[in-house]
A and B are shown apart, each in its own frame.
Chain A
Amino acid sequence: MKSSTKRSTLAAAVICALAAISGTAPAQDKETVAKNREALMKGQGKDLGSIKAYIDGKGDQAQAEAGAAGLIQSTRKIPDAFPPGSGGPSPDGKFAAKPLIWSDWTKFLDIQKNAVSKADVLLAAVKSGNRSTIETAFSDLGKNGCGACHETYREKLQD
């Protein structure tokens, strides 16, 4: 039992090493990247949800604050969620990351950095407790952060 675990760990290490040498992500790996990427975005949706609940008077401030802090963290992780060559469909096949992301990498990063600073503003707004300030920051992050990236770099494959 123990030795088989060891062996599979070794095998995984070898695969990782091979992938690192060849420079291209194996198919399996690409799927994992897509899965993790989707999980990151879905997590962001949840965080936004907790802030929206607070705006609407249905949720509490602490949760909204945690959501905004989570958004800052997850938005910072976006560049790592898009390793070169990881374009292609999302796990559910509904969307795809366009190859344009990597040919436009600096522009892509500009939008991402911009989104991080908008998430910073949102956290400050949530801490202030002023609902109309939060609402403004919330829609700014959504429309000009998340939306700006989706507009150019995400493709809809199926409805």
Chain B
Amino acid sequence: MAAFAAMSLILGGLAARAEDGDLVAHGAYLATAAGCADCHTDAKNGGRPYAGGRALTTPFGTFYAPNITADPDTGIGRWSDAQFLNALREGVAPDGTNYFPVFPYPSFTKITDDDARAIKAYLFAQPAVRQANRAHDEAFPFSWRFLLNGWKLLFFNPGPFRPEPERGAAYNRGAYLVTALAHCGECHTPRNWFGATKPSRFLAGTPHGPDDKAVPNITPDPKTGIGKWSVDDIVTLLKDGQTPDFDFVGGAMAEVVKNTARLTDADRRAIAVFLRSVPVAPSSR
């Protein structure tokens, strides 16, 4: 009897560990889709993965991505699941302050609770790095964090992703990847004077993207967007970075392709299916 109890305890423990392993693996995949490492690693200066420090230049100042390793003092090691979810979904830090929307929580708010927990499990399974965060260098008056309350009231629509079952599984998976995890619109959608993305111009591109670089229109507009691209063309771009005229993407998109290349073919196809069906929005030129 005792032996049986011990046995079932061990088996139960093993099962729990296998489950944890699955959760971590699932989180790794989601973190790749979300490109967490891209901003939260100062790769240019040999920074450790997820330890932060990468400078992100915006019209509102220079922001330094924080440490999201499990280090208890300099990272997020003391965070509960609820605090992690609150950061991703509401843009609020454990101390109650608002994040600047350079952290793409207007997209991440759509991430499901389960996926957010898996991402946290993955991050906590990575080596913890002790590296203090660098203070942001916000341009006045954006340094006034309390103004973010107003900004959020005006421009932030919290809430989970809402599937549209009648449009099919591929469309919905693609919509979730594009609008929540991969946060494509954070670069591909133009922003207003307050730095909020313009919903009516979803994915319509902008001459002033991150680092003031041009970002292309990826709506199905045949002239200024990718309306002439087939689903296969989009899949190829996400896999190899190759455009239909055999050019290869550079800059920030080359970084993104390193992530999308590691997604399943089904997910790349889902992204393509969704992109083919977003509203056409010609570039204004």
Binding site for B on A (CB under 8 A): 41, 44-46, 48-49, 52, 95, 139, 142-143, 146-159
Contacts and interface: CB of A to CB of B under 8 A. Distances in A.
Contacts of B246: 44-46, 48-49, 52, 142
Contacts, number: 68
Given A48-B246, A159-B217, A139 B239 contact: yes
29 contacts: A41-B247, A45-B245, A45-B246, A49-B246, A139-B242, A142-B240, A142-B242, A143-B241, A143-B257, A146-B248, A147-B241, A147-B242, A147-B248, A147-B254, A148-B254, A150-B248, A150-B249, A150-B250, A151-B251, A151-B254, A154-B250, A155-B213, A156-B213, A156-B215, A156-B250, A158-B207, A159-B205, A159-B215, A159-B224
Interface residues of B, number: 24
B241 A142 contact: yes
Main secondary structure of the interface of B (DSSP, over half): loop
B158 interface: no
A45 B246 CA distance: 5
Interface of B: 205, 207, 213-217, 224, 239-242, 245-251, 254-255, 257, 261, 283
Main secondary structure of the interface of A (DSSP, over half): helix
Given A45-B246, A52-B246, A147 B257 contact: yes
Contacts of B216: 156, 159
- Per CB-CB distance, the 10 closest pairs between chain A and chain B, nearest first, are A150-B250, A151-B254, A45-B246, A146-B248, A147-B248, A154-B250, A48-B246, A139-B240, A159-B216, A147-B241
